[in-house]
Amino acid sequence: MKTHQHQIRFALMLAMFSGLGPFTFDMYLPSFPKMMKFFGTSASTIQVSLTACLLGLALGQLTMGALSDVYGRRKPLIIAMIIYCLSSLGCAFAPNIGIFIALRFVQGFAVSAGTISSAIARDSYHGTELTKFFSLISVMSSVAPLLAPLAGSAVISFTKWESVFLFLGLLGFILSITTTWRLKESLPVEKRIRPNFGEMFGNFRTLLCNRIYMGYVLAQGFMLGGVFAYVAGTPFVYQKIYGVSPQVFAMLFALNGIVLIAASQLVRKLVTRMDEHRILHFGLGLSLVATITAMVVVLTHGPLFALVIPLVLYVASMGTIGPVSFTLAMESQGHIAGSASALLGVIPFLLGCVSSPLVGIAGEYSAVPLGIILLMASLLSIGCYTFLTVKRRMDVQNTESV
């Protein structure tokens, strides 16, 4: 039985890997306008750098998750953190936008290894304890979206945008050392699968055919796809349409971290008193209300505060959906936790690759695409959960009762 103090230290270590992703995506957001001028390119092209990073992360998760089921959790993390460090330094010295986008793909591929922390959590905890522990990780890692844009804004206030990626390279170096010296292997040799690529990809096929699992995955996936559209779109919506400074944008964006922390804490409190499916239903309902409200504000050209409130509530709904959907999806996948965790992570980022460039399709002075994407994300999330997971669970219960 792990002591509470050990659990806190363990969660903090895993949160460092989970939080590296938000730093990779969010820290350079305040730099978008400056990067447009530096590279002499458009808003949509700058947003492609975010898409490239998301695509790298999506493909990397499939690779890293499968490899972690074969070779353990520790080795893939060490190699990935070294690659992350080098690619971050490369981004800082990229001579043109093409090379920068390519290096962002490599950076995203490397940071994907951070999702192995979910498999490590699944190796170590089960059931309600897993939900509570994952919520604890979420609370800690939620500090990253809170700090990343503030840190990025502070950096570009005193120096050039390139320093953002020098800072990320330093983070990668620190995590390389942490992985090497502090992280213990959580997957015993006897529980690893054979290094057979046919079997490894067969696991993904099995997971894709599991309707209950895929319902949870897509419910979370479409919601997170909307979050990435929000991440790509708000730097221009807030700064170009509403005219806020990079510093004010960073503070507005930091609200996401606060609400994610609050939502994750709420889940930790409720999970021992309420069925996890009821928490999931609440989160899905909140997302629908928030996105409908945001769409109305966008179409009526409402004031800034009227848009910020529903966008923050959308992020809050993700904070409640994330921990419970993860636990419910992973509960019966212990034998292939790495692959299940990877697929649970890769689908949102693939969806994010599609949604991120679309927010700029009407130009940098229109928020309508963002409103449409968020509303569609909420509707698709509810639809997939209802028609895959709920319907399948009802079919299984009816079969068992006969």
The CATH number of whichever domain residue 10 belongs to comes to 1.20.1250.20
- Tell me if 188 is assigned to some domain: no
Of the candidates 187, 229, 244, the one whose C-alpha atom is nearest the C-alpha of residue 65 is 187
Structure tokens at 4: 């509470």
Lookup result for tokens 């994407």: 373
pLDDT category, 343, cuts 50, 70, 90? confident
* 189 inside domain: no
Is 153 among the domain residues? yes
pLDDT, greater one: 167 or 247:
167
pTM of the model: 0.69
Cα angle 321, 323, 325 (rounded to 5 degrees) comes to 60
Residue 190 located in a structural domain? no
Q: Given this model, what pLDDT does residue 1 score?
A: 44
Q: What's the mean pLDDT in 181-210?
A: 77
Report the alpha-carbon distance of residue 158 to residue 264 in Å, rounded: 34
Higher-confidence position of 310 and 40: 310
Task: Copy the structure tokens of residue 184.
Answer: 């213990």
Angle at 214 between CA 211 and CA 220, to 5 degrees: 145
Eight-state DSSP code of residue 360: T
| Tens of pLDDT, residues 5-34 | 667 777 777 878 877 887 888 788 878 888
pLDDT for 392 beyond 70: yes
CA distances from 232 to 99, 116, 367 (A): 20, 25, 11
DSSP string covering 21-47: HHHHHHTTGGGHHHHHHHHT--HHHHH
Residue 271's alpha-carbon distances to 236, 275, 277, 377, in angstroms, are: 38, 7, 10, 25
Residue pair 257/145 in contact (Cβ under 8 Å)? The answer is yes
Residue 380 has pLDDT above 90, yes or no: yes
| Whole-angstrom distance, CA of residue 245 vs CA of residue 27 | 15
Our CA angle for 250, 289, 310, nearest 5°, is 15
Domain that holds residue 301: 4-183+197-401
160 within 8 A of 37, measured Cβ to Cβ: no
Compute CA 89 distance to the chain's CA centroid, rounded to the nearest angstrom. Answer: 23
Q: Taking a C-beta distance cutoff of 8 angstroms, is the pair 345, 122 a contact? A: no
Q: What are the CA-CA distances from residue 133 to residues 128, 241, 327 (Å)?
A: 9, 40, 10
- Let me know if residue 192 belongs to a domain: no
The Cα–Cα gap between 373 and 118 comes to 28
Distance of CA 299 to the CA centre of its chain: 28
Mean of pLDDT values over 217-223: 91
Query: Does residue 119 sit within a domain?
Result: yes
* Closest CA relative to residue 157, chosen from 38, 31, 26, 47: 31
Q: Is the pLDDT of residue 169 over 90?
A: yes
pLDDT for the residue 335: 63
Q: 32-43: buried (b, 16+ CB within 10 Å) or exposed (e) per residue?
A: bbebbeebebeb
State CA 196 to chain mean position distance: 29
**What domain count does the chain have?**
1
Q: Are 153 and 246 in contact (CB under 8 A)?
A: yes
Burial class (CB in 10 A: 0-12, 13-18, 19+), 29: buried
Tell me how crowded residue 299 is: count the other CB atoms within 10 A of its CB: 12
Residue 316 domain-assigned? yes
**Contact in structure between 244 and 381 (CB atoms under 8 Å):** no
**Confidence bin at 165 (pLDDT 50/70/90):** very high
